[in-house]
């Protein structure tokens, strides 16, 4: 196999770990070229308003990557309403080996028509929004694999997705070597990483965090102010789900 191109999409208001988890796995495959793809070259401010990540290539420069990763974040619904991104995604998906998403990146895949009537997953707080966009949410699956499309659960699930993807594409030994390289031998000091495992009080605190994250999108410019009607409906649906 020659050089494979991996395109990781960046946009203002995204969640950094959604992208950096898969990046740190995929970039360790020899002969893989990783690109951070966006509308313009240069820094993109993530959802914290503090961390900037650099776009290395425009969408136009990257028409046919073998692997596509769409990260999520509170601004994912704005990207799901961005025709230029959706057109690129549909076109690139025609020739990609795998088109994938992490967290609410699945909403972008769904808006692009890649998940119509198909099982998929996303962040636990966005499963309702994913259903609204025509997919069949699989709330209890970490990674959902379809026909050249794979979706991962929230944020940290991108690491599991990428290791699976490397195993599938480059063989299990390569994936295991990368797992060892990044010493991914998880030993979380708590066990509250899924709603089914977290107490009611912890779930309420996390929901308040999600509302705070959405509110914090001011720094990402006028994303929310310029939202279309469909996009505002998505926002409202997500916020309703979050506040429940």
Q: Cα–Cα distance between 241 and 62 in angstroms, integer?
A: 35
Binding-residue total with a second copy (CB under 8 A): 70
- Token output for 97: 């080996």
Query: From the list 147, 185, 229, 244, which residue makes contact with a second copy (rule: CB under 8 A)?
Result: 185
Half-sphere exposure for 42 (CA within 13 Å, toward CB)? 2
Residues 38-67 that bind a second copy (CB under 8 A): 43, 48, 50-54, 56
Residue window 86-125: x/- pattern of binding to a second copy, with contact defined by CB under 8 A: -----------------x-------------------xx-
Instruction: State which residue, 53 or 81, has the beta carbon closest to a second copy.
Output: 53
Written as one string, the DSSP assignment of 77-112 is: HHHTT-HHHHHHHHHHHHH-SEEEE-TTHHHHHHHT
Query: From the list 9, 34, 111, 217, which residue makes contact with a second copy (rule: CB under 8 A)?
Result: 34
Instruction: State which residue, 56 or 91, has the beta carbon closest to a second copy.
Output: 56
Catalytic residue among 76, 79, 103, 106: 103
Task: Render the burial of 39-66: b for 16+ CB within 10 Å, e for the rest.
Answer: beeeebbbbeeeeebebbbebeebeebb
- List, as own/partner pairs, every contact residues 222-231 make where C-beta atoms lie below 8 angstroms and the sequence separation is at least 24, other chains included: 223/12, 223/13, 223/75, 223/78, 224/78, 227/77, 227/78, 227/81, 228/81, 230/81, 231/77, 231/78, 231/80, 231/81
Task: Say whether residue 21 binds a second copy (CB under 8 A).
Answer: yes
Q: Cα–Cα distance between 14 and 27 in angstroms, integer?
A: 20
Residues 197-216 that bind a second copy (CB under 8 A): 197-199, 201-203, 205-206, 209-210, 212
- Token output for 132: 């609204």
Residues 141-180 that bind a second copy (CB under 8 A): 142-143, 153-157, 159-160, 163-164, 167, 172-180
103 is a catalytic site residue: yes
Cβ of residue 191: shortest distance to a second copy, in angstroms?
8
Catalytic (active-site) positions: 103
Binding region for a second copy (CB under 8 A)? 15-17, 20-21, 23-24, 27-28, 30, 34-36, 43, 48, 50-54, 56, 103, 123-124, 142-143, 153-157, 159-160, 163-164, 167, 172-190, 192-195, 197-199, 201-203, 205-206, 209-210, 212
């Amino acid at each position: 196999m020659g050089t494979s191109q991996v395109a990781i999409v960046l946009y203002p208001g995204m969640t950094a770990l959604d992208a950096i988890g898969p990046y740190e796995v995929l970039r360790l495959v020899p002969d893989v070229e990783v690109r951070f793809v966006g509308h313009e070259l240069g820094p993109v401010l993530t959802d914290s308003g503090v961390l900037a990540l650099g776009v290395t290539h425009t969408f136009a420069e990257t028409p046919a990557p073998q692997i596509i990763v769409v990260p999520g974040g509170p601004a994912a619904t704005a990207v799901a309403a961005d025709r230029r991104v959706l057109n690129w995604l549909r076109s690139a998906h025609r020739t990609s080996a795998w088109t994938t998403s992490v967290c609410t990146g699945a909403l972008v895949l769904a808006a692009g028509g890649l998940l119509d009537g198909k099982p998929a997953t996303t962040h636990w707080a966005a499963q309702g929004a994913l259903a609204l966009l025509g997919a069949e949410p699989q709330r209890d699956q970490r990674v959902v694999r379809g026909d050249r499309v794979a979706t991962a659960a929230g944020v940290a699930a991108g690491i599991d997705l990428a290791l699976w993807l490397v195993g599938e594409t480059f063989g299990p030994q390569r994936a295991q070597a990368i797992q060892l390289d990044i010493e991914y031998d998880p030993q979380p000091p708590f066990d509250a990483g899924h709603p089914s495992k977290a107490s009611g009080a912890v779930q309420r605190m996390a929901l308040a965090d999600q509302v705070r994250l959405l509110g914090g999108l001011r720094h990402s410019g006028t994303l929310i102010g310029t939202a279309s009607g469909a996009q505002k409906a998505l926002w409202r649906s997500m916020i309703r789900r979050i506040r429940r």
